[in-house]
A and B are shown apart, each in its own frame.
Chain A
Amino acid sequence: MTTLTKTEGAGSAPTGSDPFLSVRDLYVRFSTEDGTVKAVDGLSFDLERGRTLGIVGESGSGKSVTNLTVLGLHNPKTTQIAGEIVLDGQELIGARERTLETLRGNKMAMIFQDPLTALSPYYTVGRQIAEPYRKHRGVSRREAHLRAVEMLAKVGIPQPKLRVNDYPHQFSGGMRQRAMIAMALACDPDLLIADEPTTALDVTVQAQILDLLKDLQQEFGSAIVFITHDLGVISTMADDLLVMYAGRAVERGSVGEVLRSPQHPYTWGLLSSMPRLGSDVDKALTPIPGSPPSLLNPPSGCPFHPRCAFPEQVGGGRCATERPALPEGRGAACHLTAEQQRTVFIDQIKPRLG
């Protein structure tokens, strides 16, 4: 079960024991007026302590839904869930609400995308950071307040003793995101889910926040799930990478493997549509043709086949009929053979990336 840990270099060594977070065959469906949305369709991944898993994909590919499901923050009335999510040996799907409450903000915490709307305007930053600490550690108001000051200092807010009494609207965007990180880390969570934590920030602040997250991970040893659609960000943050499309994982491997020699046509598309600093300004970007599929009625077979340029290389119409499996470990859910993938990437895709 050490699917994602076979990379060389930094990170904890594969122990062979059960992973810290294990998601197995996760299906998430929402009932809507128009029908059932298959938001997550058979997703599996593992994550070890101290490592970072990047999840990339377009909007609506199921990245955020997966992680809200891990925390149990979906609406139970309209959502059907199947599969398993095991956190440190504890099954989360079907767990009681009280149990989840003791885990949220404590063992697993989440950083949301937009710090402008994700902090309550009605309470001071300090109070919002102190709240989970008081609840989970049962400490006094005063101790929790001191913890809030300490956490603000840790995330690099100047004059934390003063700023702890500020309201979120008195903070800048970057400071709010730091405060949010302080809030998420107040109880030293073992699992940190960061849902596009830098998307709402400008580039310089983005770099600071990413550095901060890396430093804090070193210090706390948390496992991080880092959701983004920005491949540049992921390359600096993650150890392993999961590419999602239409609620499914289509490719996985270490960040280096996936970004250097991507195997799935969708990953090729993502890389080709990304601007590069060094490239010729007159060179047009190559967008992925078509638009993301409706999850009410996803395409048959490989969900990417309507937008894919290579079904004829597979032949036999297999792409439209047969769902390709994602192999364990490094690999892509694609009917192209490994040889075909390599040839197409080297001959057609790589020159485009420049």
Chain B
Amino acid sequence: MLPFLIRRLSGAVVIMFLIGAFTFFLFYSIPQDFAELACGKNCSPQNIAVIRENLGLDQPIAAQFRDFMMGIVAGRDFPQGHCPAPCLGVSFASGDMVWDSIIDRFPLTLSLTLGGLVVFLVVGLGAGLIAAWKRGTAVDKALSGASIVLSSFQIYLLGPIVLGLLVYSTGLMENPKYVSPFDSPGGWFLGMLIPWVVMATIFTAQYTRMSRSTMIEQLQEEHVRTARAKGMSRGYVFFRYAWRGSLIPIVTIIGIDLSSLLSGAVVTEFTFDLAGLGRLAVESSVNKDIPLTMGVMMFGAFFILMLNIIVDLAYAFIDPRVRLS
């Protein structure tokens, strides 16, 4: 297990470097003067010259790339002050450190992701398992039907409906907002509940359909029949044999969904007026805030890489055949 982890983590470092390089050169090749962008409107040529020097834009491209990469690893100095590692530069729009802006928004994104994950795993997988267990019955048909209907909803449709019902007309709940769970666990829970449920609804349907179909597939496997032939009970075979085999595709999808959610749930954040990473990404690109855009992009890439490694580790725990290879 350890050699695997070391190999994968060192691979991840290389890939992160390549993503850094790709991001840098991608944005460098934009036909826009960064100094002008950073300066904003009505900027005097003198100011532009100063900014160009401050940002190091007067240096050759190789030196700029080196500074950018070294900044991530070791931190770098800007006229605004020292930018500690991992330094992703300074926002053009606000003048804040990009890393600080991201970290500022991250708790909301993390809360949204983990809360939504709990809801859609419990409800989605639960409904799928019940449907597979009751295959062919009215229960199965109702759950499968509901999952198809729900999956065709969109967050920006469902969100306002739920807000209208629960917040604006009845006042049962308050407008969603983010409160740190360390300050007020109850406030955090109530503030995030509507976004969790609405966001999870869309995902839930996918998990219901997938867990139902993989379970039904697994239940037809020969080794599952062997377990029945040994006299093991239906429930035992269902959970110990069939469920174990269904985990691989489910974990795969969880990894993909988690990494996309962790880099920001744009639609959910805009629907509920929450300020997370998704909103930050959109705002930064609308403002042509290049360092911030690059930072959000690399931050997302980091999660995708990490979750890939975690999913691969999970495979090894689930399926002993993966352990040797």
Contacts and interface: CB of A to CB of B under 8 A. Distances in A.
Interface of A: 71, 73, 77, 97, 101-106, 109-110, 112, 114, 117-123, 131-132, 135-136, 167, 169, 180, 183
Nearest to A101: B231
Interface in B228-254: 228-234, 240-241, 244-245
Given A77-B136, A97-B234, A112-B222, A121 B321 contact: yes
A132 B231 contact: yes
B268 to A, nearest CB: 36
B300 to A, nearest CB: 34
Nearest to A110: B229
A344 to B, nearest CB: 41
A73 B229 CA distance: 7
Q: Which of B222, B225, B229, B241 has the most CB of A within 10 A?
A: B229
Given A101-B233, A102-B231, A131-B227, 8 more contacts: A71-B229, A105-B229, A105-B232, A112-B226, A119-B223, A135-B230, A169-B320, A183-B226
B221 interface: yes
Contacts of A183: 226, 230
B233 A122 contact: no
Contacts of A132: 230-232
A131 B228 CA distance: 11
Nearest to A116: B222
B222 A118 contact: yes
B174 interface: no
B232 A135 contact: yes
Nearest to B229: A110
Contacts of B226: 110, 112, 118-120, 180, 183
A119 B245 CA distance: 13
Contacts of B102: none
B100 interface: no
Contacts of A110: 226, 229
Contact of A118 (B223, B244, B245): B223
A113 to B, nearest CB: 9
Contact of A135 (B225, B231, B319, B320): B231
A118 B241 CA distance: 12
B320 A136 contact: no
Contacts of A123: 240
A117 B221 contact: yes
Which 3 pairs between the two chains have the least Cβ-Cβ distance?
A: A105-B231, A105-B230, A104-B231
Given A117-B222, A122-B245, A169-B321, A136 B231 contact: yes
27 contacts: A73-B225, A73-B228, A73-B229, A103-B231, A104-B229, A104-B230, A105-B232, A106-B231, A109-B229, A110-B229, A112-B226, A112-B229, A118-B225, A118-B226, A119-B223, A119-B226, A121-B319, A121-B320, A122-B245, A122-B320, A123-B240, A132-B230, A132-B231, A135-B232, A167-B321, A169-B320, A180-B226
Q: Which of A120, A123, A167 has the most CB of B within 10 A?
A: A120
Nearest to B245: A122
Nearest to A97: B234
B166 interface: no
B309 interface: no
A122 B229 contact: no
Q: Which of A77, A110, A122, A132 has the most CB of B within 10 A?
A: A122
Nearest to B244: A122
Contacts of B320: 121-122, 167, 169
Interface in B40-81: none
A118 B233 CA distance: 17
B318 interface: yes
A114 B44 CA distance: 80
A131 B230 contact: yes
A117 B231 contact: no
Interface in B195-246: 221-234, 240-241, 244-245
A119 B320 CA distance: 13
Q: Which of B223, B231, B232, B321 has the most CB of A within 10 A?
A: B231
Contacts of A102: 231
Contacts of B224: 120
Nearest to B224: A120
Nearest to A187: B231
Q: Which of B223, B232, B240, B241 has the most CB of A within 10 A?
A: B223
A141 to B, nearest CB: 15
B222 A114 contact: yes
A144 to B, nearest CB: 12
Contacts of A109: 229-230
A215 B117 CA distance: 56
Contacts of B227: 120, 131
Q: Which of B230, B232, B240, B321 has the most CB of A within 10 A?
A: B230
A183 B227 CA distance: 10
Contacts of B229: 71, 73, 104-105, 109-110, 112
A133 to B, nearest CB: 9
Contacts of A114: 222
A194 to B, nearest CB: 12
Interface in B279-325: 318-321
A122 B231 contact: no
A103 B230 CA distance: 9
A109 B232 CA distance: 12
A169 B224 CA distance: 16
Contacts of B241: 120, 122
A118 B227 CA distance: 9
A120 B230 CA distance: 12
B228 A104 contact: yes
Nearest to A186: B230
Nearest to A193: B229
Nearest to B242: A120
A290 to B, nearest CB: 31
Contacts of B232: 101, 105, 131-132, 135
Nearest to B228: A73
Nearest to A104: B231
Contacts of A135: 230-232
Contacts of B231: 101-106, 132, 135-136
Contacts of B225: 73, 112, 118
A167 B318 CA distance: 13
